[in-house]
Amino acid sequence: MPDLSTRQKVAVVTGASSGIGFQVSKQLAQLGWKVYGCARRVELIKPLEQLGVVPIQLDITSTEEVKKFKELLQSQLPDGKLDVLYNNAGQSCTLPAFDVTDAQVEQCFAVNVFAPIRLTRELQEFLINAKGTILFTGSLAGLAPFPFSSVYCSTKAAIHQFARALHLELKGFGIRVINVITGGVATDIADKRPVPSGSKFDFPVALQSFENRKKMAEKNKPLSAERYAKKVIGDILSSRDPIDVYRGTYSTILSTVVQYFPGWFVEFVLTVKFKLGPIFNYQRKKYGDDVDLHLE
């Protein structure tokens, strides 16, 4: 990457109003970078302006707004160079698969999949000019079949594969692509929606398991967003060209379990972790199957 002594480095960070995006924007700015911090709520980014962060109100799901942002960059980027595009913004979706509406599915995919693909495509020339780095905030949910997260897991699996294919495609341009597979991090992304009334999971033991799933990150000693950002910035500044990096609580160990152990074992671990056995027993009895799995 170009030397800071000759040109100020530039980054675009989405989801910059809180959590990971806020900390990455802050820490890059402290290193002397010019950072375009993008979010819908720019008032939360304004405290970082004195460090060199430019707050950009941007709905990443809007093609029109992304194109206008591209025009802004064309007028402001030195030599048309963008050193880092950090596709960090994310949308949670923690609901039983039977209860997710079309609108909720579309919103989750719009933020987690379509928007990063769109931004990567629209800002390609700036990244080529700088031989820059593109990052994606992936998730363990893209590897592990977490219960009550089928849609979110699907979006993260999709963006993982997009990032990996992109890593291969862009080698000839000198662009690095880093897929940050993220474990527990102390952010406010957790879904707060309840199980809908009338759901086939609307009974006591299922509701308890559902609440435990929503609080999974906060109950498992999550890494602070500040420490997470520091590690990822180390990845940005490194000359290494990894495909995947693992950051956040349990990111390495759980990824290893999912990748190297058989599916039945992964399901067993998740069944015990989220106390799904009583749910299965209740549903089997209610829906006509008298088999008792004894998975307490």
Instruction: From the candidates 9, 86, 139, 152, give the one annotated as an active-site residue.
Output: 152
Residue (of 102, 84, 67) closest to 24 by Cα position: 84
Active-site residue, 260 included: no
Measure the CA–CA gap between 136 and 139, rounded to whole angstroms: 10
Measure the CA–CA gap between 147 and 98, rounded to whole angstroms: 12
Angle at 244 between CA 16 and CA 33, to 5 degrees: 35
Q: Sheet containing 133-137: which strands, arranged edge to edge? A: 53-57, 34-39, 10-14, 84-87, 133-137, 176-182, 244-247
Measure the CA–CA gap between 188 and 169, rounded to whole angstroms: 34
Instruction: From the candidates 9, 17, 154, 209, give the one annotated as an active-site residue.
Output: 17
- Long-range own/partner contacts, residues 115-118 (CB < 8 A, 24 or more apart): 115/14, 115/60, 115/61, 115/66, 115/87, 115/89, 116/14, 116/60, 116/87, 116/159, 116/162, 117/162, 118/60, 118/63, 118/66
Measure the CA–CA gap between 26 and 31, rounded to whole angstroms: 9
Measure the CA–CA gap between 216 and 28, rounded to whole angstroms: 29
Q: At what angle do helices 115-122 and 150-169 cross, to 10 degrees?
A: 20
Active-site residue, 156 included: yes
Q: What is the DSSP letter of 112?
A: I
Instruction: From the candidates 9, 81, 156, 214, give the one annotated as an active-site residue.
Output: 156
Measure the CA–CA gap between 93 and 108, rounded to whole angstroms: 7
Active-site residue, 152 included: yes
| Active-site residue set | 17, 152, 156
